[in-house]
Copies of this chain bind each other. A is one copy, B any other.
Amino acid sequence: MSPEEFRRLGHLVVDWLADYRANAGSKAVACNASPGDLLAQLPKAPPEQPEGFEAILSDLDDLIVPNLAHWQHPNFFAYFPSNGDLSAVLGDFLSTGLGVLGLTWQSAPALTELEDRVTDWLRQMSGLADSWQGVIQDTASSCAMIALVAARERTTKHGAVTTGMQHGQAPLVVYASTEAHSSIQKAAMLAGFGCDHVRKITVDANRAFDVAALREAITTDLNSGLRPCAIVATTGTTTTTAFDPINELANVAEQHGLWLHVDSAMAGTAMILPECQPLWHGIDRADSLVVNPHKWLGVSFDCSVFYVRDDQHLVRVMRTDPSYLRTTIDDQVKTYRDWGVALGRRFRAMKLWSLIRTHGTERLRTRIRRDLDNARWLTEQVEADPEWRLLAPMQLQTLCIRHEPVGVTGDALDKYTLDWLQRVHDTGRAWLTPAQLDGRWMVRVSIGSLTTEREHVAALWQLLQEVTAT
């Protein structure tokens, strides 16, 4: 496509997206598509002759939009906010349009140096010590795996990198709470620990890591001849936003020489508020940390910032040095390919830079505080209604709720919960996702989409009462 065609069509794309975003709230937040609906409408074979990009544009409204849930919708309360602020969207456009690739520093110097600086901006915004070094990865899942690989090599003194995991030696053990994200177990599986060696430690009444139980588990494993290796803590668990006690976990990690990785993928954004920073007290004692600006903060997916304190250790573990990637200034620069899995890297710093500069830190903090206020308001409504229950302490912006009419319990309650949730979705007026807590279904209300104001939260509360009215 020529630059002039791109200019013409690019304006159409921008206009289409501006309209899509402006009108997001006017359509149903989720869709009623059934499996195979779109597939049935797509040609089985690729076109031999050019259709032109106009063909894509004309299919957007007919084929694509009806088969999407709308994550940028003000009534999106599912999963977690995956905000793509339009300033970050434009930053990403620049990255894609420039089409440069970070294989080495030399291959795109600005890509590396801007990433170095903006991850440091986010560090400062989050009140983290200057001993942390940042890098942008795709997702927290990858970050967890990288953290466990780094942990593995610290425990084995770079033995696993050489001779493989556990050959002739006792298995390494990873400790996380029962509320840790599924990606932790996956990371341990990928990195060769084996799921049998992921201890799921019980949680306390607030669903946070039970440190006494952790100490017991470590002692048991040591007595069995196993090798404790890493603790994965979560500040803001997926289901209930519980905060594990980082400082106490750091004491345990220090005592036993374990790697401490902190998963703050979603809630890390709240740490740009000084009043929230006590929630991860002790964070500067951890070894690695992940915060996802592609969630609540507003940077278009994917932008997962991985912080590490001993970057030299990480690079020693991850480094490859083939001749076709060598440059004369390798010892003077950061070589981010050695900080993660992928060799090729997008210019992802551009979108984080765009967001922070467009808005400034104060306006970003104001938006996050708005969401906290809205969540507190909804919590008050739920707590004031005797038929509704708040099932876990509301910490930031996610509520775990259930409607519990008198006499409805057990399996009947599960069915009742999923039924009214389906009625919510059938209206198209809100999208929420369910999760299990203590083996029973409940509903998560995750507040924090960019365009979600108090009126949308109030309308949700109204809707919840409608679908549960007898």
On whether A197 and B164 interact (CB within 8 A), knowing A69-B106, A100-B70, the answer reads yes
Chain B's nearest CB lies how many Å from the CB of A314? 13
- Complex Cα spacing A444 to B109, Å: 21
Are B163 and A194 in contact, with the CB atoms below 8 A?
Answer: yes
Residues of B within 8 Å of A408, CB to CB, are none
- Complex Cα spacing A19 to B15, Å: 19
What are the interface flags for A29-67 relative to B under an 8 Å C-beta threshold, 1 for contact and 0 otherwise?
Answer: 011011111110010111111111101100010011001
On whether A190 and B18 interact (CB within 8 A), knowing A100-B71, A166-B164, the answer reads no
In this assembly, does A5 line the interface, its C-beta being within 8 Å of a C-beta of chain B? yes
In this assembly, does A311 line the interface, its C-beta being within 8 Å of a C-beta of chain B? no
In this assembly, does A276 line the interface, its C-beta being within 8 Å of a C-beta of chain B? no
Are B360 and A99 in contact, with the CB atoms below 8 A?
Answer: no
Residues of B within 8 Å of A51, CB to CB, are 357-358, 360
Residues of B within 8 Å of A344, CB to CB, are 82, 139, 141, 294, 301-302
- Complex Cα spacing A182 to B337, Å: 12
Query: Could you say which of A211-219, A248-256, A320-328, A385-393 contacts chain B?
Result: A320-328
- Complex Cα spacing A97 to B333, Å: 33
Are B99 and A50 in contact, with the CB atoms below 8 A?
Answer: no
Are A99 and B300 in contact, with the CB atoms below 8 A?
Answer: yes
Are B361 and A69 in contact, with the CB atoms below 8 A?
Answer: no
What are the interface flags for A168-183 relative to B under an 8 Å C-beta threshold, 1 for contact and 0 otherwise?
Answer: 0001100000000111
A321-379 CB contacts (< 8 Å) to partner B: 321-325, 329, 332-333, 341-344, 346, 353-354, 356-363
Copies assembled: 2
What are the interface flags for A401-444 relative to B under an 8 Å C-beta threshold, 1 for contact and 0 otherwise?
Answer: 00000000000000000000000000000000111100001001
In this assembly, does A268 line the interface, its C-beta being within 8 Å of a C-beta of chain B? no
Query: Could you say which of A83-91, A202-210, A280-288, A462-470 contacts chain B?
Result: A83-91
- Complex Cα spacing A11 to B90, Å: 10
- Complex Cα spacing A49 to B97, Å: 28
Are B86 and A362 in contact, with the CB atoms below 8 A?
Answer: no
In this assembly, does A312 line the interface, its C-beta being within 8 Å of a C-beta of chain B? no
Chain B's nearest CB lies how many Å from the CB of A397? 16
Size range of the chain A interface in the assembly = 35 or more
On whether A343 and B11 interact (CB within 8 A), knowing A33-B109, A87-B53, A357-B56, the answer reads no
Choose one: B10, B110, B122, B325; the contact of A64 (CB below 8 Å): B110
What are the interface flags for A220-253 relative to B under an 8 Å C-beta threshold, 1 for contact and 0 otherwise?
Answer: 0000000000000000001100000000000000
- Scoring A34, A72, A139, A140 by chain B CB atoms within 10 A of each residue's CB, the highest score goes to A139
In this assembly, does A124 line the interface, its C-beta being within 8 Å of a C-beta of chain B? yes
Are A18 and B33 in contact, with the CB atoms below 8 A?
Answer: no
- Complex Cα spacing A109 to B33, Å: 7
- Complex Cα spacing A192 to B159, Å: 10
Are B183 and A90 in contact, with the CB atoms below 8 A?
Answer: no
On whether A56 and B358 interact (CB within 8 A), knowing A82-B101, A90-B10, A192-B164, the answer reads yes
Are A435 and B323 in contact, with the CB atoms below 8 A?
Answer: yes
Are B39 and A117 in contact, with the CB atoms below 8 A?
Answer: yes
On whether A86 and B360 interact (CB within 8 A), knowing A17-B97, A99-B72, the answer reads no
Chain B's nearest CB lies how many Å from the CB of A305? 13
Residues of B within 8 Å of A434, CB to CB, are 323-324
Are B14 and A10 in contact, with the CB atoms below 8 A?
Answer: yes
**Nearest-neighbor residue (CB-CB) of A330 within chain B:** B35
Residues of B within 8 Å of A322, CB to CB, are 181-182, 238, 435
In this assembly, does A461 line the interface, its C-beta being within 8 Å of a C-beta of chain B? no
Smallest CB-CB A-B distances: 6 pairs? A192-B192, A164-B194, A10-B14, A84-B99, A165-B192, A17-B97
Q: Could you give 11 example pairs across A and B, Cβ below 8 Å?
A: A10-B17, A10-B90, A35-B329, A37-B109, A38-B110, A71-B101, A89-B99, A139-B344, A161-B195, A189-B317, A302-B344
12 further contact pairs, Cβ within 8 A, besides A64-B114, A101-B301? A1-B90, A20-B98, A30-B106, A49-B362, A50-B358, A55-B357, A89-B97, A141-B344, A164-B171, A164-B196, A165-B194, A181-B322
